[in-house]
A and B are shown apart, each in its own frame.
Chain A
Amino acid sequence: MLTDRRVGALVLLGGLLTLLLWYLAPWAVPHRLFGGEGVLLNPFGHHLPLGSLPQGYRDTWLLPYFYLALAWLLLTLVLGFRAGPKGLYLLGGMGLGLFLLLAFLFYGSVGQANAPALAQGEPPPLRRFSLGLAAYATLAFSLYLLLLGRLRAPGGLAFLVRRRGAVVPLFSLLLAVLLGGLIVALIKESPGEAKGLREALMVKLDLIAYTYQLLFSPLVSLPGFLQSLLLATPLIFTGLAVALGFRGGLFNIGAPGQLILGAIAAMLVGVYLPGPRWLVLPLAILAAALAGGLWGALPGWLKARFGAHEVINTIMLNYVAASLLLFLISTNEYRFFGQPVYLPFKYPGYEARSYEIRPEARIPLWTDLLAPGGELSFALPLAFLLGLGGYFLVRKGLGYRVLAGLLGMVLGYLLGGLLPGPQVALGGELTSVRLNGSFLLALLALLFFHFYVFRSVGGYELRALGLAPKAAEYAGVSSGRKMVAILFLSGALAGLAATHYVLGGGIDEYRLKQSLPYSVGFDGIAVALMGQNTPLGVGLSAWLFGVLLTGGLQVNLQLGISRELVAVLQALIVLFIAAGGFLPRYFTDPLRAAEVELRAQEAGKGGAR
């Protein structure tokens, strides 16, 4: 499969592409203006818009560095044809070193230019700088060489195929990013003037790279990171909801409707049920889960009883739920057959929204959980530690372990709450992020998914039903009842997503509003597929989409590209994952994957003999 000649061709292809990008794309961007235009460094000629570089800036290192990199690339192209795994590792390692050297040189020269101003306590002249696409091409080509090296090592292909749960989504992400770049290039005209075709292409390529830098910028800033967790919270719930359905062989596209019903129930309890906090808050959360679950169970029952396909019914119920939401909070006066009917739910005023959730039913913000009153609290970390300890130290059945874990959590929470903590001051940028306790609920939901689906009898039945419905039925699973239960649980998870919005103030107010972003229910499909229906995968991909959504805001702000770019990327990822990342069949077909493994094992034995 991976002959010498094929590896040689792959190296050649990658190398030529890298060379092309080196020629066309900027190597580094020391200074970027608002609107995306920047000073672009390239050994074949810079792009220098107005408002250029400060006096002390030097980039004389660029040309010698370029020749060094060129030497490496030529070496790779010549040796890559016959290099074994070790040779490819060496070449890839050298490339990584070159990338680090460039980063070192570039940040050094930027620091030098900024030094005088910083010494005088003034704002530095170069604030927005970054490595360019050509530098990332070097990095990507080095990693590609390392990957090829791993593939050439014995059992390399089997290694990759065994990890297809991660390979397919990541490859799909890569493809979607490439296609997304093309879309950006099409819909956004390049900022600034360009002399000649090469410079125009350089500016265009830089625009694409800058878009993705902004999209992924929450990875490198703390407020952005917290904001990405905030946006990931509802996605974890809806992603788990869809994933649970998938595991049971049911496709739940009804998460938006289940979310709406959850939000309505949470609002009803949160606004109208008086009582102490320890009673009202759990009841409100429970109500959200229950309402979402019942709304999900309905299509499950229709399927079990009448054989009506759940996909169409869940979608129809989304529309019905949206009407219900409008009915409750858009106005308080209706006429039924001429008779006036009054509802008590809408808050007076122009906007369609409910009354405020009572303070007792609100989910606290992260600042109140982590540092109430400016004093760091040990309650959560201790609860986490003791909970983990309780789970892993008890060596008995699962039930005992979970019980010990829960006890540990409660104990840790109480103990930590009593301990005095040091004073901390959080900046305004951090406290303005409205991340709330729903995030912890989402983490608990991930744990629940893991234990229910992979460690319980009910979960075993669920997976059996998903993999082989007939076999499960003959083995004694009551398929109808199970389908209702699966969609109930799935709907309950989607309903819990509403706690973030209504009880946690995720839409800036502790109310049910018409602007409830219930379409995150659809995004759950992308999250579940990207996460391959495993709890870890769902958590990570929800976070990835949280990052993209946060970054999408930056893209919109700085470049004026619609935030829907992120939605398009999500849809493309789903499409590509559905097609198995367009990878060879042994990545999608378990039987053929096993064939690859077997062949690798035989080859391994042959080598030993």
Chain B
Amino acid sequence: MSLDAAFFLALLLSTLRQTTPLLLTALGGMFSERSGVVNIALEGIILFGALSAAVFVERMEASLGPAPWLPWAGVLVAMGVGGLVAWVHAVVSIRYRADQIVSGTAINLLALGAPSLVLTYFYGNATNSKEVQSRLPLLGPEGFALSPLVYLAFLLVPLAWWVLFKTPWGLRLRAVGEYPEAADTLGVNVYRMRYLGVVLSGVLAGLAGAYLSIGFLNQFVRGMSAGMGFIALAAMIFGKWHPVGILFSTLLFGFASALAIQLQGTDILPAVLVQAFPYVVTILVLAGFMGRSRPPGAVGKPYEK
């Protein structure tokens, strides 16, 4: 196959599609880390979101039949479940002052096992859900149609910037993550801000999960997040905990994934090696740039009044 215009157009669209879940998750991770809590559970939360969206929509279809509002309800369910799982992480790491990385890893381990139980219960197999008919619709001109969640993800970037840097709430969130003692003295409820930050990250990761299972595909497949949560965390670090930086870093990772997909089936590089692209890019990026960025001052440290 030759590298022609069609190839590059497909590459561009694929980049946008691949960037979306990363961008959503990384923006969520930003809110969590800006509040001072590392949320390494994002990977697992994506899976829980994807699972709940697919199962909810499929079950509703089975009883009500397909409907245009169903996938949107599925998206809401996924956001709710994502927020709930993140809340568990918040309780364990904020209230019980657990090591945030260990707590997040526990949730990721849970996301490796729990979906199989749910899938076996509903579908009798442990690897994937039934396909849904009501997928999210595509928006845009013929040939360029993209899922509405793609547009939403990119719209969230200026919104997140405005919330974080131009509202009192954003100021308090950042203060809690930088120097909780000072914020506390000024009457900011440190715990409540942190809970909000973590739950918000879960809501966004759940949204990314819904995008994967009922926007990008039409079913839940075991392990379908494939490290996206971790790549999003790396992108967030690379983007220096700033929405605009995150936009560009997730685009880089999205491009690496898209390139891997577009190169599959060509005889340029073997597909199995090309699949490792995004992961290698993550490692290289972290090695090259992390030393120069500065995380929020109190990130990873439990706060004690």
Contact = CB atoms under 8 A, between A and B. Distances in A.
Interface of A: 183, 187, 251, 253, 302, 305-309, 311-313, 315-317, 319-320, 323-324, 326-327, 330, 334-338, 519, 522, 525-526, 529, 561-562, 564-568, 570-572, 574-575, 578-580, 582, 588
B110 A337 contact: no
B103 A306 contact: no
Q: Is the interface of B mostly helix, strand, loop or mixed?
A: helix
B117 A562 contact: yes
Contact of B109 (A317, A338, A571): A571
A388 B281 CA distance: 50
Interface stretch (B131-139, B196-204, B271-279): B271-279
A302 B283 CA distance: 9
B268 to A, nearest CB: 6
Given A323-B275, A336-B270, A564-B114, A315 B287 contact: no
B267 interface: yes
Given A312-B282, A562-B126, A336 B113 contact: no
Could you say which of A316, A335, A588 has the most chain B C-beta atoms within 10 Å of its C-beta? A316
**Residue of B96, B107, B121, B233 with highest tally of chain A CB at under 10 A:** B96
A117 B95 CA distance: 61
A320 B280 CA distance: 7
Interface in B95-120: 96-99, 101-103, 105-107, 109-110, 112-114, 116-118, 120
Contacts of B126: 562, 564
B267 A338 contact: yes
B269 interface: yes
Contact of A522 (B109, B116, B286): B109
Contacts of A323: 272-273, 275-276, 279
Contacts of B101: 251, 311
A522 B226 CA distance: 15
A319 B93 CA distance: 27
B40 interface: yes
Given A338-B268, A575-B110, 4 more contacts: A305-B287, A306-B291, A316-B283, A575-B103
Contact of B272 (A187, A327, A575, A579): A327
B290 A320 contact: no
B83 to A, nearest CB: 17
A337 B113 contact: no
Nearest to A519: B112
Interface string B263-305: 0000111101101100110110011101100000000000000
A306 B273 contact: no
B105 A253 contact: yes
Given A306-B290, A308-B286, A323-B272, A572 B110 contact: yes
A578 B99 contact: yes
B234 interface: yes
B273 A574 contact: no
Nearest to B280: A320
B261 to A, nearest CB: 14
B92 interface: yes
Contacts of B245: none
A302 B112 contact: no
